[in-house]
Structure 1
Amino acid sequence: MDRIVEIAIVLVSDDGRIEEEWSTLVNPQRDVGPTRIHGITATDVLAAPTFQDVMGRVLGLLEGRVLVAHNADFDVRFLLAELRQAGKEVADPTRVPQLCTMRWSTAFVSSSSRRLIDCCAAAGVDLTNAHTAAGDARATAELLRHYLRASPPPPPWQDVMHQAVAYRWPTAAGFGEALARSRAQVVSEPKHAWLERVVSHMPRAGDAQVDSYLAVLEMALLDGFLAEHEKEALVETAQNSGLDRDTVLDLHKRYLRAMGEVALEDGVVTESERADLKGVAALLGLPSDAVKQALEAVREGSHEGAYALSASAIQLEAGDRVVFTGDMNRARDEWERDIRRFGLETGGVTKATKIVVAGDPNSLSGKAAKARTYGIPIVTESAFARLLEKQGSGQA
């Protein structure tokens, strides 16, 4: 079942004035779907409330109001499905008071199509941040205002307004209201809060048990991306190993230096390799000059506290199972065709699965959840492509 990943409600007065706006990302507790369209990743919604968390707020805002949307039937179906999922049935789904700005568009605008963007253009409405819940809802509110101005009073949907006053949505008694989480909050949040948890909760001193931490770190950074479950694993490993703050930060520097050694094996650091080094340094919360220092240490032959970095933490062999999950940049059948050339197979996630490839390693899909339970690595498409490239070079 498709789920809501973002919801926005704009309250409008009878004369079309915007009275209140509210929006939030929603954790669908499953894969987030086509990120390329709505721009929302699994990472964005990990800390977002579920629909059940905000259901009380949603129902409170809808009470006594006409639900207005562009292609209203589509939005209403999603809303009713989420309410059913939360155990709240609407008494008569066919009588939900709704107004569809798409259906009314032929009466009030002359546009090339009935799409929201075209109707807004014809009405002189600025549609900013299209395909975001808040952007589309605000534009729909402005489009409704255009309809109201173009229509002699009372508006032709006066009967629906009367129905809305009498209509009763289900109650959400017993459900608290979770804090909304906007897209802006996701963008503005510190990217290394997890690192603060690693270093701030460590004891001031302790025996350095570094091997297990480095093993987890190497596997986590296989794809140059630290998923949330990988950050949790690093925090837990650091705590269980009794690592102090300075030791953890030093391990990150040593890991970066080890990457620098691999990059300089041929005497040249390519732009791609330098970008990888900078990306890892940023993920580990290291300063901007950390890459330069790491490469200089390698060139000077400094091996103080060196850590032997394997060329790849994962080696694929014929018969290994590779599983794909989530919305991906490349067509699934293309990936499956490529892996078959290497004698690899695909299917569902089992304990024997070697690796899971995801559009977003924080994917909330069932496959990703099972992979984490089994301790199976989840990597990005780009990392898997590099892995296949090395595989091809090895075969050659």
Structure 2
Amino acid sequence: MDFVTLDFETATAQRDSPCEIGLTIVRDRQIVETKSWLIKPLYYPNFNHINISVHGIRPADVANQPTFEQLWPVIKPYMEGQLLIAHNASFDFSVLRKTLATYNLPLPQARFACSLKFSRSIWKGLTAYDLKTLCNMHRIHFQHHRAASDAHACAALTLKALDHTGTRHETEFPEKMLSPITLLR
């Protein structure tokens, strides 16, 4: 089963303020690549101090980085036609949708699922389902709130869930993972 996990970090509370994106590519149930890019957000140099305290990315870190609009031709091929998975997908895909809308760019043709949702269905009874808690439970080591590391951790967690449920193909995903795959709109 092939998929791509993604994670965004944002500069402000506005969803169209990504300052970092991470992508992990999984082919034949193997993590084959993890990439990340710092992004000069639309609101540069305005960063919210709370966001900085979470991810540690500062305006100086992105001063010479491309904007999302400049980076999109590089990122889009990783997403086009893929099954995309994010932990708390409602956040990450709202960042993607809002940022693409801000720059008047079309959404990629893709499908998506949420590792937070399927984790709640698969591992019932936990006190928390955040990425850190689930990764600690499964002994997945990562640097939380950095996009590449979070995307890689989400991929590793998804592979654990696929193994746990015996899911071998995307067509089995909704039934065995107890979570839908949705068209990105």
Alpha-carbon distance, 1:90 to partner: 3.2
Q: Distance in 1 between matches of 2:117 and 2:168?
A: 18
* TM-score, normalising length: structure 1: 0.37
Equivalent position of 1:24 in the other structure: 37
The question of whether the paired residues in 2 share the 8 Å contact of 1:109 and 1:122 is answered with: no
Match of 1:157 in 2: 173
Work out whether 1:119 is the aligned partner of 2:134: yes
Counterpart in 2 of 1:89? 106
Q: Distance in 1 between matches of 2:120 and 2:28?
A: 21
Q: Runs of 4 or more off by more than 6 Å in structure 1?
A: none
CA distance in 1, matches of 2:145, 2:184: 30
Any gaps of 5 or more consecutive residues in structure 2?
1-13, 176-180
CA contact (8 A) 2:81 2:110 kept: no
Distance in 2 separating the partners of 1:53 and 1:153: 37
Higher share in helix: 1
Change (3 A) 1:101 1:141: same
Aligned pairs (5 A) from 1:168-207:
none
Structure 1 residue 138 displacement after superposition: 0.8
> What are the Cα deviations for residues 8-29 of structure 1, in whole angstroms up to 9, with x where unaligned?
11111242x1122211110003
Q: Deviation string for 1:115-156 (max 9, x for gaps)?
A: 111111222222x21111111111101000101111123454
Residue correspondences, number: 159
The 3 A distance-change label for structure 1 pair 48 and 5 is same
Code of the residue aligned with 2:41 in structure 1: it is P
Percent of counterpart pairs with the same letter?
Answer: 26
| Bigger Rg over Cα | 1
Residues 250-294 of structure 1 deviation map (CA, whole Å, 9 limit, x = unaligned): xxxxxxxxxxxxxxxxxxxxxxxxxxxxxxxxxxxxxxxxxxxxx
Separation of aligned partners in 1, 2:71 and 2:41: 12
Does 1:70 pair with 2:87? yes
Normalized per residue, the structure richer in strand is 2
Aligned-partner Cα distance in 1 for 2:121–2:94 = 25
Residue 109 of structure 1: CA displacement? 3.0
Give yes or no for contact 1:101–1:144 (8 Å, CA) kept in 2.
yes
Q: How well do the aligned residues superpose, as a CA RMSD in angstroms?
A: 2.5
